[in-house]
Structure 1
Amino acid sequence: MLIEFRVENHRSICDEQTLTMEAGRVGNADDLRPREVVGYAEKILPVAALYGANASGKTNVLNGLAFMRDAVIQSSFLWQPDQGIPRSPFAWGSRKAEPSLFEVTVLISGVRYEYGFLVSDEVVLEEWLYAWPNGKKQVWFERDNMTFKFGEKLLGDNQSIEGLTRANSLFVSTAVQFRHEQLQVIHGWFRRVRTLNFGEMYPSYFHDRGIARLLHEETQSTLFDDTEFGRPNLMAQFRSLLRNADLGIVDLRVEKAEATESRRPRNRFYLQHDVSAGDSWLPLSQESKGTQTLFRSALPILETIGHGGLLIVDELEGSLHPSLARHIVDQFNDPNTNPDGAQLIFTTHDTNLLGTTVGEPALRRDQVWLTKKDEHGITVLYPLTEYQPRKSENLERGYIQGRYGAIPYLGDLSFVME
């Protein structure tokens, strides 16, 4: 699980900003949302939401984490030797030439790790990885430009891989390409970081194949079962997601088209609508754009809840029917539907998640983060708890009124101002 993310000099972020998933001293003792985890003294939150005005930089915070993920996974084979590092530093003043920092503290199988790097436009300036098995710090490696220092606890062919690491590539990324077993643990954590609405340009073919593959695997023997090993199977979760969207969809099926000489076999999806007519199945291609967006957004959501990891979403309500946003947040927050400690971090303008119209707010006070820009156009990230709102305080009303510093996006919200 992610404990903390730190980023500096990235897009509108100038000074170091920190997003922590560590639970604060808020809420009731019987609140099950904060998770007790082996290997860490404090409870960890499964959900965090970033609020703020348009162009305040909330997307840039999560974009920094997405950039870090891509660097770890891709830098050794996608960043070409003569093309430097595709970073996006703060655009104004002297900071444009200064390094960018990216660092995470994570918990994997009961062991805390701290991994990070410092990069310029051309090279990796620093890179480091520390581990705390049994609570004792181990230096696995430290990098200063192309000078490496390996700790005695990092086994493997470190020196040989050092010689294969380019100046503009991360050591972790290179090491995994050459099957460094011990570094698979941190690399594997980043591979389980999924993104949604960050400009992915994958053709729908790949989305459809991914969804169909998951459904096909899950439905071989359990298509009509409600649970598998005491948990809802993927088909049941998919159906539940569609039904909760209140789109009138009651079922779905997958059909595989015949392969031809010029075309590979492609899965076709059909959705059944709640109508009185007997034949109520429609192909996904004939559904509304909103339904198609929801359908394809379901893949990373269900993958993350079903297999663990971290999902970062830009504008959660932009991917989902409005009634579904709270349902998804509740799914991640509930240990019964999220027993593997999957995490969700998202930006949003949806103030309903802060309100009490339908009972307790979906978000705890320590799950809410705010962004604003100062007079120099620099993004500042801070927790709602910095304002110490009372337990009984109407967070939705307070946010809309600008009580917490960040000026929200305002639509027709006069009803809460009365």
Structure 2
Amino acid sequence: MLIQFRVENHRSLRDEQTLSLVADSTLDPADPRLIRVPGFEEALLPAVALYGANASGKTNVVGAMGFMREVVITSQRLWEPEGGTPQEPFALSDKATESSLFEVDFLLDGKRHRYGFVLDSAAIEEEWLYTFLDGEARVAFERKGETFEFGDQLADENNEVIASLTRGNSLFLSAAAQNNHRLLRPLYGWFGSMWFEFHQGATPSIPARAQLLRRIFGAERQLSLFSDIESELDVRERQRESIRRLLQSADIGIKDIKIEKQKLLFMHRAEDPAREVWLPLSAQSAGTVALLNIAVPLLDVLAGGGLLCIDELEASLHPKLALELLRLFNDPKHNPHGAQLVFTTHDTNLLGNTLGEPPLRRDQIWFTEKDQAGATHLYPLTDFHPKQQENIERGYLQGRYGAIPFLGDLLAKGD
């Protein structure tokens, strides 16, 4: 589970910015939506929303997290040895020639880790991993250039051999995973459990994800021979229930999904309520396909834990459907493994009570705003200490928290 993400000098994120998923202890600490992990004192949030004007840098925050994941997953395996790195520094100042920093604080199997790195356009300058024991950070490894130091926790592994195989433009964590490092491969897997959905303005397709849907809605004979059948069936049924609930909330006429002869079939509402009409994936609308494109990673993280990041949530989902998505993450019954959702949006319905009880806690709301130099600033609603009865949606639209377009300037330019 993600505790916090820190980034500096990536695209419009010129200065150090931090996104925290730690719950504010002054806001209903007994809230059942919060994620609690034995041995970790602070409760975590199952979801956070990023609001802000167009081009304010919301996407860059999510993109920075995705960039960090890609460096971890691909630097040793796919990058050219002499190809440098794909660094994207802030381009509008001297920062364009400086290094970029990325760091995550996270929980894995109940243990807290802090991992990060610094890179420039040519190579990895620094890399570090700290593991927390009894509340104190202990060095697992530290790297500066081609110099590595290892803590006692990694003493039994072939660290020096792997370090010698780590290229200048590759992460040690990436190289360790490629060489089956027993202790570091699970951390590499944590990054692999992340999903990112970026709105590209095009209709998404799901051929690469159909396999997961087939597994969820497939026959019992497809279960692993080594799994606990009853437990696996219970997980499957929760997944099926979640996707049915999502599709029914979308009101797109789909009542159920099944697998038949390795093909996904969707049951549509017919004029005769007693009649079942099953249609293939190829017959579904673009909106249905877009919904399924999100549903697949959604079900994956809900089933096993993980992080789902969605850019422009409202681009694919109706407000009521976005609300249902939030409810799935906020409901421990559907989210038993502490999966988390980070998303950008302009949908102010999620800030108020138009759709019933406010779907977001106040510590789940973050804003981005650009200054006159083009640098993005990321900050939480809680910085403003809003009163308990304050209408957050109205306050946001009135500019009380910043992060909205400067309409006056736009109108002046149009005169």
Please confirm whether the aligned pair reaches a TM-score higher than 0.5, indicating the same fold: yes
2:347 aligns with 350
1:269 to 265, 269, 272: 265
For 1:186, what is the secondary structure of its paired residue? helix
The residue number in structure 2 matching 1:285 is 282
What SS does the aligned partner of 1:233 have?
A: helix
Per-residue CA shift, 1:297-343, capped at 9, x if unaligned? 21001111111111111111223233210111111012222111110
The corresponding residue for 1:337 is: 334
Q: How far, CA to CA, are the matches of 1:203 and 1:287 in structure 2? A: 11
Q: Which residue of 2 aligns with 1:2?
A: 2
Q: How does 1:400-415 map to 2 (within 5 A)?
A: 400-407=397-404
Q: 1:12 to 1:215 in 2, by over 3 A?
A: same
Give, in whole Å, the separation in 1 of the partners of 2:402 and 2:79: 40
The 1-side partners of 2:59 and 2:278 are apart by: 38
What are the Cα deviations for residues 66-98 of structure 1, in whole angstroms up to 9, with x where unaligned?
Answer: 111111111111111121101211111211110
| Whole-Å separation in 1 of the counterparts to 2:75 and 2:220 | 33
Sort the Cα spacing of 1:279 and 1:91 in 2 relative to 1 into closer, same or farther, 3 A: same
How far apart, CA to CA, are the structure 2 residues paired with 1:203 and 1:164? 38
Does the CA contact (< 8 Å) of 2:369 and 2:376 recur in 1? yes
Distance 1:45 1:30, change over 3 A: same
CA contact (8 A) 1:9 1:16 kept: yes
| TM-score, scaled relative to structure 1 | 0.89
Q: Classify 1:204/1:30 alpha carbon distance in 2 versus 1 (closer, same or farther; 3 Å).
A: closer
Deviation at 1:289, TM superposition (A): 1.0
Structure-2 change in CA distance of 1:182 and 1:96 (3 Å):
same
Alpha carbons 2:205, 2:290 under 8 Å: kept: no
Q: CA distance change for structure 1 residues 163 and 29 in 2, over 3 Å: closer, same or farther?
A: closer
Query: How far apart are 1:285 and its partner, in Å?
Result: 1.9
Amino acid at match of 2:352: G
Stretch moving more, 17-26 or 194-203: 194-203
Output the amino acid matched with 1:172.
L
Question: Matches of 2:245 and 2:189 in 1, distance apart?
Answer: 29
Letter in 1 for 2:211: R
Whole-angstrom CA distance in 1 between matches of 2:250 and 2:221: 22
Q: What TM-score do you get using the length of structure 2 for normalisation?
A: 0.90
Q: What's the counterpart of residue 38 of structure 1?
A: 38
2:413 corresponds to: none
1:408 CA drift (Å):
5.7
Q: Number of aligned residue pairs: give it.
A: 397
Secondary structure of 1:62's aligned partner:
helix
**1:109, CA displacement in angstroms?**
1.8
The answer to whether structure 1 residue 372 and structure 2 residue 369 are counterparts is yes
302, 308, 327: which one aligns with 2:305: 308
Q: Does structure 1 residue 397 correspond to structure 2 residue 397?
A: no
**Range 131-140 or range 197-206, more displaced:** 197-206
Bigger CA drift: 19-28 or 327-336? Answer: 19-28
Deviates more, 1:166-175 or 1:308-317: 308-317
CA RMSD of aligned residues (A): 2.3
| Cα deviation code 1:258-288 (max 9, x no counterpart) | xxxxxxxxx3433322432735333222222
TM-aligned CA deviation for residue 232 of structure 1:
4.0
* 2:186 counterpart residue number: 185
- Change over 3 Å in CA distance of 1:35–1:235 after alignment to 2: closer
Question: Given the superposition, is the C-alpha separation of residues 14 and 109 from structure 1 closer, same or farther in structure 2, using an over 3 Å criterion?
Answer: same
Match of 1:235 among 235, 240, 243: 240
Q: Unpaired runs of 5+ in structure 1? A: 258-266, 411-418
Q: Deviations over 1:141-165 (max 9, x none)?
A: 0000111111122130000001100
User: Judging changes above 3 Å, is the alpha-carbon distance between structure 1 residues 333 and 72 closer, same or farther for their aligned structure 2 residues?
Assistant: same
Structure 1 letter corresponding to 2:282: S
- Tell me if 1:175 matches 2:176: yes
Cα pair distance change 1:83/1:203, threshold 3 Å: farther
* CA separation of 1:84 and 1:131: change in aligned 2, threshold 3 A: same
Change (3 A) 1:119 1:22: same
Q: What amino acid does structure 1 have at the position aligned with 2:375?
A: I
Amino acid at match of 1:272: H
Following superposition, the deviation at residue 3 of structure 1 comes to 0.5
Q: CA separation of 1:250/1:212 partners in 2, compared to 1, >3 Å: closer, same or farther?
A: same
Structure 1 residues 296 and 403: CA distance shift in structure 2, 3 A: same
What code does the residue aligned with 2:292 have?
Answer: F
What does residue 157 of structure 1 align with?
Answer: 158
**Equivalent-residue separation in structure 2 for 1:146 and 1:228 (angstroms):** 49
